[in-house]
């Protein structure tokens, strides 16, 4: 079946596709993305930060149908963090924790730079905000610009503040962002945590 059509996959086809969908770890090369992760590592002294990139690999087109239509019921972010590719790329984060659900909720590419800036300026449990709001906003904007430029419509953002793996500390600094580039079928994950 041609999944470029308007015909939507059935629930059974969606479930079968979820069993087949795969991800491939790829290096994160964008310097602003790595810089944001480094700043988080510096200030989250009892926790840390991890960033990783993944390509979506699937053969039946069902995942592409859901992703291209901004349909979050496919659960791509949840599937990614439970995948073998995620465990390979971020083994210290991958061990599932006390929360059975990852807690992902759809956010917006238009807000991502501000969400990152807020977390950067908030600082860690034992560090004061390491920078001004203007500097934090500039880092968040550079992070987004390096990943998707002005292609806001091509990007889905899923965010969770749940302690979905044992790596997270279970307090206010837990955050996971999954940024999905629908055009290029690429996902970037940023995880942060800290504890006082």
Whether residue 115 lies inside any domain: the answer is yes
Whether residue 178 lies inside any domain: the answer is yes
pLDDT score of 3: 41
CATH of the domain at 111: 3.40.1000
- Is the distance from CB of 183 to CB of 151 less than 8 angstroms? yes
pLDDT score of 89: 97
- What average pLDDT does range 130-159 have in this prediction? 95
Structural domain containing residue 133 = 22-193
Mean pLDDT of the chain: 87
Whether residue 11 lies inside any domain: the answer is no
pLDDT score of 95: 85
Task: Please give the C-alpha separations between residue 48 and each of 121, 131, 174, in angstroms, as whole numbers.
Answer: 15, 18, 10
Whether residue 165 lies inside any domain: the answer is yes
Whether residue 80 lies inside any domain: the answer is yes
H helices of 44-149, in order, are: 62-68, 76-81, 84-89, 91-94, 112-122, 133-148
pLDDT score of 80: 93
Phi, psi for residue 168 in degrees, rounded to 5: -75, 150
Structure tokens at 57: 């690999």
| Total domains, the chain | 1
pLDDT higher than 70, residue 169: yes
Whether residue 16 lies inside any domain: the answer is no
Distance of CA 2 to the CA centre of its chain: 29
Whether residue 133 lies inside any domain: the answer is yes
- What average pLDDT does range 23-49 have in this prediction? 96
Structure tokens at 167: 């790596």
């Amino acid at each position: 079946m041609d999944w470029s059509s308007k015909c939507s996959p059935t629930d059974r086809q969606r479930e079968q596709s979820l069993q087949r969908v795969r991800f491939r770890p790829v290096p994160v090369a964008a310097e602003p993305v790595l810089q944001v992760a480094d700043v988080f590592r510096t200030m989250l002294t009892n926790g840390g930060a991890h960033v990783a990139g993944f390509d979506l690999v699937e053969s039946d087109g069902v995942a592409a149908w859901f992703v291209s239509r901004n349909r979050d019921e496919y659960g791509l972010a949840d599937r990614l963090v439970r995948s073998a590719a995620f465990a390979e790329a971020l083994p210290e984060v991958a061990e599932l924790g006390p929360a059975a659900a990852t807690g992902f909720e759809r956010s917006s590419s238009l807000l991502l730079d501000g969400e990152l800036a807020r977390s950067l300026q908030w600082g860690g449990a034992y560090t004061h905000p390491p920078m001004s709001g203007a500097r934090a906003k500039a880092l968040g904007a550079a992070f987004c610009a390096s990943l998707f430029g002005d292609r806001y419509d091509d990007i889905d953002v899923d965010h969770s503040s749940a302690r979905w793996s044992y790596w997270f500390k279970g307090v206010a600094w837990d955050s996971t962002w999954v940024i999905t580039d629908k055009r290029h079928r690429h996902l970037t994950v940023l995880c942060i945590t800290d504890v006082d």
